[in-house]
Structure 1
Amino acid sequence: MFDIKFSRRPRAYFAAPLFNEMERRFNVETEIMLAPYIDIFLPQRDGGLLTKLVAEGMSLSLAKKYVFKKDVDAISNSDIVIAVLDGRTVDEGVAFELGCAYALGKLCIGLKTDVRALLATGDNPMITECCHTIVSSVDELIDIVSLPPQVFST
């Protein structure tokens, strides 16, 4: 159970894998469903894709620094981090983003639509214990973020 009050429309950072078309499409489709309720920083759109920046002429070193700074700044400026936890293991970028958000005292919501887990005991507790709640569907996520901005609770 958590109760958090916002005096304005909440800002969320969407931490998710973005390394293939399927992942990026899922991220965009989920962001579209959440957008009526919260403002979302979508790293693939708002932070920049490393491969695209390099293809457009930015050096790899500069592109890495650029993406890192944009994403860390966005996490810092967010109220909520929504972390996609799908897969046998959590994407390493998502793991970092979730840990960063937890250390900054952000509300962390896990989205795990996948039953796979590497460990017989489930996902790594360094991931799951960062999350204030973990939902198993986008519909459950919408139920949480569609609450009035004054109160979020599960």
Structure 2
Amino acid sequence: MTISKHIYFAAPMFANSDLRYNAYLVKKIRQLNHQVTVYLPQENGDINEKSAYADSKMIAQADADEVLKSDLLIAILDGLVIDPGVASEIGIAFAKEIPVIGLYSDTRQQGADNQKKLAALQETAENQFHYLNLFTAGLVKLNGQITNNEEDFLHGIQKFLETGEINDLS
């Protein structure tokens, strides 16, 4: 039995590609269960319509309130670095023990068993892998899980919606 849940979707949202990917994933999440409520910050025109005005306190209060009333925070961890807003939202969720499922799909994580890529770590400026901030990743892992593909990400959300559990998404 699925119980109605409120999900906060934390993701970068300033490039058109970000906005489109966020909308794509949220559509898939909403299709998992029609009782689920997903807060996608880019849909909140009161604070995120970039041709309008919202100051830092308005933005922080609106989004923090949504994180705090959420049953689950989902976070897109891709990018050159974890988006600073996403990292802040993860911090709030961790402090309030709100479970988190992260999606880290960066393709540079592939090849962890490739001996040439591993050997290249010993040479300056030849890291073949992407670095993910370990503090923020640790906050997610202490209170949830990080997946590396959309299928597992959506499966984890579905499992949470059905059971309320996040400890083992397999």
TM-score tier (shorter): 0.7 to 0.9
Instruction: State the AA in 2 paired with 1:145.
Output: I
Partner of 1:97: 89
Partner of 2:43: 45
Secondary structure in structure 1 of the residue aligned to 2:107: coil
Distance in 1 between residues matched to 2:14 and 2:137, nearest whole Å: 23
Give how far 1:11 is off: 1.1
Secondary structure in structure 2 of the residue aligned to 1:146: helix
Partner of 1:106: 98
Task: Give deviations 1:58-96, integer Å, cap 9, x for gaps.
Answer: xxxx53222211100000000111111001311111111
- What pairs with 1:58-73 in structure 2 (closer than 5 Å)? 62-73=54-65
- Alpha-carbon RMSD across the aligned residues, in angstroms, is 2.4
Q: Does 1:30 align with 2:22?
A: no
The TM-score normalised by the length of structure 2 is 0.73
Distance in 1 between residues matched to 2:8 and 2:164, nearest whole Å: 18
Give how far 1:7 is off: 7.9
Instruction: State the AA in 2 paired with 1:128.
Output: A
Distance in 2 between residues matched to 1:24 and 1:99, nearest whole Å: 22
Count of residues in correspondence between the two structures: 141
Identity %: 26
Task: Give deviations 1:95-151, integer Å, cap 9, x for gaps.
Answer: 11111111111001111111358x868422211111111011222111112235334
Higher normalized contact order (CA 8 Å, seq sep 6+, divided by chain length):
1
Instruction: State the AA in 2 paired with 1:9.
Output: S
Distance in 1 between residues matched to 2:149 and 2:43, nearest whole Å: 23
The TM-score normalised by the length of structure 1 is 0.80
1:50 and 1:64 in contact (8 A); partners too: no
The structure in which a higher percent of residues are helix is 2
Secondary structure in structure 1 of the residue aligned to 2:55: helix
Partner of 2:78: 86
Give how far 1:14 is off: 0.5
1:88 and 1:116 in contact (8 A); partners too: no
For structure 2, the residue ranges without an aligned partner over 5 or more in a row are: 110-126
Q: Does 1:9 align with 2:21?
A: no
Larger radius of gyration: 2
2:7 and 2:39 in contact (8 A); partners too: yes
For structure 1, the residue ranges without an aligned partner over 5 or more in a row are: 1-5, 55-61
